[in-house]
Every structure is written in C-alpha cells, then in structure tokens.
C-alpha cells in the first residue's frame, strides 16, 4: 500500500512502502511496521531494432534496367497464371447454376457468398452426388475439379507471397505468407527459389489451365442436358 510520509512541507510528499510483518508467539501477537523508500527501477537493457535494414533504393533503381527483360517475363507469367485461374474458377458458376437448377444471377450470389474456392468446390461436389447419376459424367466433373485444385496450389503460392529481389533488381525467391506447421515446429514464410525449373512449372500450369477451361466449356452442355433430362446440344464456339 502507498502513503505519504509526514515530512517537511517544503518538498512534495514522497511515497513510502509499508511492509507489515506479523510474528505470532505462544503468548502474544506482535505487529512490526517497517518504513522504507521504494527502489527505483534500473533498466540497463539497450534497445535493438528487429527491423531489417532499409533497401538502398537508389542502387536498386540504377541496376534494375539490366534485369528488366527477365523481370518482365516473370511478371507476365504470374499475371497470365492468375488471369487463367480466375477465368477457370468463374466457370464453376455455370456448373453451380446447372446443379442448383437456377439462373446465373442466383448461382453467382451463392458462389460469391461462399468466400473460399474450397467451399465452392465442396458444394459443387456434394450437389453432383445427388444430381448426377451418369457415372462417366460424374467422373469427368470430379477429374476437372481435381486438376483445377492442383493448379490452385501454384496460383496460391504466387498470389499470397512476398517477392525477394537481388541487388540487380531480379526476382530470385518467393516467401510464402502462410504458417508452416508440423508436429515439432511452427515456421512462417517458406522461401522458394524462383529459378528456371519453377518458371517452367508456371508455364506448364498455364497450359494446363487453358486445357481445363476448354474442357469445362465442353462439359457444361452435357451436364445441363443430364440434369434436365434432355438431349445435349452443342455450344457454339463463339459463345465461349
């Protein structure tokens, strides 16, 4: 507890601490009061910033033109991959529209309300189990979803990461923004080299997503005809 010592009024009262010690004997209980000034805390620890060093932007800007061609190529691949993936995902709105037996606007509302790709694909797969009785058609839809999910892994790596540049301005690595959790450890930000093999993986993924896009368009009229019990009609290529 705190109280003020009755000392001279010429200086402001100083806080004192009271320590109460109770000693019990066989005969009496004695209460002893101790007065002492509180010790001032001493902190000799030096503050050391944990921030990384600020990049030398002038040096980077001067060196950047030398790596411009490769950097433009890498960024073009990333943009192409993300654009292709987004267009493929949007086609599942029509799959959802067919399985729900509704209109495009209503399907889009359901699609947008489910705010993760995984939730949207789960809904489509569950609806397919009760709507699609043609085993070959169901197998084709499942295969497309699985292939799209594989391409999603590559897209997520590049859409949710930090890009690491070297002193010449070239993109050399990516650092994931996800937590990597195992039974024994927890790490943040897996770092992967953006080398030639990884660039080739991006190229293959873009080609795969182009094929997936075409195959979804081919599947849609078959799926619609099956769900509504009518003969499938071909969709004009112009409509794609």
Supply the pLDDT for residue 175. 93
Q: What is the pLDDT of residues 185-218, one digit of tens each?
A: 888 888 999 999 999 999 999 999 999 999 999 9
Neighbours of 118 (CB within 10 A): 10
Tell which residue, 137, 136, 135, 111, has the closest CA to residue 123. 111
Residue 216, H or E segment: helix 196-228
Distance between CA atoms of residues 67 and 44, nearest Å? 47
Q: Which residues contact 5 (CB under 8 A, 6 or more apart)?
A: 13, 14, 16, 35
Buried b (16+ CB within 10 A) or exposed e, 156-170: ebbeebeeebeebbb
Helix axis angle for 68-100 and 104-113, nearest 10°, is: 120
Distance between CA atoms of residues 92 and 83, nearest Å? 15
For tokens 């001279």, what's the residue? 8
For residue 3, the 8-state DSSP code is E
Supply 65's token pair: 């033109």
For tokens 């507890």, what's the residue? 1
Q: Pick the residue with more confidence: 145 or 230?
A: 145
Under 8 Å between Cβ of 213 and 87:
yes
Residue 125 has pLDDT above 80, yes or no: yes
**Lateral strand order in the sheet of 29-36:** 2-4, 15-24, 29-36
Neighbours of 47 (CB within 10 A): 6
Phi and psi, residue 56, nearest 5°: -85, 90
pTM for this model (two decimals) = 0.72
Tell which residue, 87, 98, 144, has the closest CA to residue 121. 144
93 alpha carbon, distance to own chain's centre: 23
Tell which residue, 99, 166, 98, 108, has the closest CA to residue 128. 99
Most confident of 35-39, 60-64, 85-89: 85-89
Q: What is the pLDDT of residues 10-60, one digit of tens each?
A: 555 444 443 334 444 444 444 444 445 556 656 667 889 999 899 889 998
Distance between CA atoms of residues 222 and 219, nearest Å? 5
């Amino acid at each position: 507890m705190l109280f003020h010592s009755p000392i001279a009024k010429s200086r402001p009262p100083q806080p004192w601490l009271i320590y109460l010690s109770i000693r019990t004997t066989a005969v009496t209980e004695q209460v002893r009061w101790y007065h002492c000034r509180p010790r001032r805390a001493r902190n000799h620890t030096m503050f050391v910033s944990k921030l990384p060093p600020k990049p030398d932007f002038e040096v980077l800007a001067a060196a950047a033109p030398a790596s411009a061609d490769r950097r433009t190529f890498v960024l073009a691949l990333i943009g192409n991959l993300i654009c292709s993936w987004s267009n493929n995902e949007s086609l599942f709105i029509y799959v959802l529209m067919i399985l729900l037996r509704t209109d495009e606007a209503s399907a889009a509302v359901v699609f947008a309300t489910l705010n993760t790709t995984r939730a949207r694909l789960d809904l489509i797969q569950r609806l397919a189990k009760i709507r699609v009785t043609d085993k070959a058609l169901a197998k084709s839809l499942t295969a497309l979803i699985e292939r799209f999910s594989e391409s999603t892994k590559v897209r997520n790596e590049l859409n949710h990461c930090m890009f690491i540049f070297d002193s010449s301005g070239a993109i050399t690595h990516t650092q994931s923004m996800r937590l990597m959790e195992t039974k024994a450890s927890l790490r943040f930000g897996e770092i992967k080299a953006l080398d030639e093999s990884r660039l080739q993986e991006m190229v293959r993924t873009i080609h795969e997503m182009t094929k997936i896009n075409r195959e979804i368009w081919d599947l849609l009229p078959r799926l619609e005809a099956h769900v509504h019990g009518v003969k499938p009609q071909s969709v004009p290529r112009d409509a794609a």
